[in-house]
Structure 1
Amino acid sequence: MQEQRKLGSRTIVFLILVLGLSLLLGGCALVADFGSNLRQQWAGLPLTLATYDDQAQKIDQVRGTSLAITRDRQFDEINSDGKQNKQSKVMKITVGSHLMRHVGSSLIAYQDGLTNVLDQHPQKVQAINKKRNVPFVNRFVHAVKDDFSGSSYVILIRSQTGQPIATFAGNRVRVSKTDVPSSTNLLIDGKRLFVYRCDYTIYEKAMLD
């Protein structure tokens, strides 16, 4: 009986430790995400920003050592009571002391330290695939497997018509909302990725091995 109680106590202690560790790790990711957002709004982040058409062709690319993205609130719709009726879809992008605005086409912005693997291997993409559907991910990862070695997750980003435009990899991935409609913040191994008007899928790399 005493042995069973000891076993039960150990199980409870073990479960408490596991729960505590999960909360700690989740909290760390949350803190890192919050810190990244704070740095972006106050000091900007070193980001590469690119926009794409429906066929996943790159329209333009901008790089800044101090780049920040927010919703342009002057385009919010306000009703007669002075309350916000509809959020603006226009983005205000500051690049150092310069200003950009963007709305409409697919856009990604990724922090220095992240690599868009798809951007670096366009010839291999064209060579291994004609129809860029789900099996494309598996074929692409194997074609450039060195770029994904040691990674736990693969993030595939697609245009609004489903054409792949970017692929990233990392061991820790956190997804969070932004104040810009149709956009998502991702934190990949502590580095910021901002996605606007794109489809995306996050795969465990083990699924593609």
Structure 2
Amino acid sequence: MKKIMIAIVCVTVALTLSGCNWFSNEAGKFKSALKGREAIIQTYDEDSNIIDRIEGKSIDIGANKSFEIKDSSGETVSKSGVMSLTVGGKTMMHVGSSLILAEKGLTNVFEEYAKTNDITSHDRSVPFVNRMVNGVKNLTTGQKLLILIRSQTGKPLATFAGKDVSYFTTDIDKSTGFIIDGKYLFVYRCDYTVYDLALLDK
């Protein structure tokens, strides 16, 4: 019995460490993966209005380490919420407002839906997300998961769908990285929900 317990503990520790390594590797791959790839960066105000849009190639993104908080032993106790970005060799810094970086090839379902529908409709008989999925069936048919991204006040900003969706931590505070069918998505200071599309078809 004791040997079985030790084996279980060893397997659990191994899985935990491999999970940590996976997240670390994915975060590292995220930074290198964008080099040579094209992506769109957009920032938003509280009402989901786009503040700026930057489109470029060979993007590097990471935390500005100057804003990390460390303890007396030099260990990081609070990650930096300030990001440094390089787009085609040109630099920028960003902090505060919601930001989404989407690799070219990802379709923002919300933008497509907004082109043909009144997104300020107050018809509450059908929830907003269900209406959107039904409104863009051509973009969501065959997909398995849907990511709805909202502003810090809860207003929809962007929506992406895919068959294979995974996520990972980054070195920037209040941010999440996603891989959607092999393409990268970075979300900073946003609320989000990941749905199984089967839940929204009912």
Same fold (TM over 0.5): yes
Which residue of structure 2 aligns with residue 37 of structure 1? 30
CA distance in 2, matches of 1:204, 1:152: 6
Matched, 1:117 2:109: yes
Q: Deviations over 1:77-131 (max 9, x none)?
A: 3455555453321000110110010000001101111011112332434257337
Residue 161 (structure 2) pairs with residue 169 (structure 1): yes
Cα offset, 1:198, TM superposition: 0.4
1:105 partner amino acid: S
- List per-residue Cα deviations over 1:144-202 (Å, max 9, x = no partner): 11011111111100001110000101001101110000000011001100000001111
Query: Separation in 2 of the partners of 1:71 and 1:133?
Result: 43
Task: Give the Cα–Cα distance (whole angstroms) in 1 for the partners of residues 66 and 185 of structure 2.
Answer: 25
Runs of 4+ in 1 over 6 A off after TM superposition: 131-134
> What RMSD over aligned residues (CA atoms) do the two structures have, in Å?
2.8
Q: Which has the larger radius of gyration?
A: 1
Unaligned 5+ runs, structure 2? 1-14
CA contact (8 A) 2:113 2:135 kept: no
Partner residue of 2:191?
A: 199
Are the equivalent residues in 1 in contact too, given 2:149–2:193 (CA < 8 A)?
yes
Amino acid at match of 1:53: D
Matched, 1:135 2:127: yes
TM-score normalised by L of structure 1:
0.76
Partner of 2:173: 181
Give unmatched runs, 5+ long, in structure 1: 1-22
2:79, 2:173 within 8 Å by CA — same for their partners in 1? Answer: yes
Query: How many residue pairs align between the two structures?
Result: 181
Structure 2 length as normaliser, TM-score?
0.79
CA distance in 1: counterparts of 2:135 and 2:111, whole angstroms? 14
Aligned to 2:110, the other structure's residue is in SS state: helix
Comparing both structures, which one devotes a greater share of its residues to helix? 1
SS of the residue corresponding to residue 139 of structure 1 reads helix
Contact 1:128–1:139 at 8 Å: present in 2 too?
A: no
Percent of residue pairs bearing the same amino acid type = 45
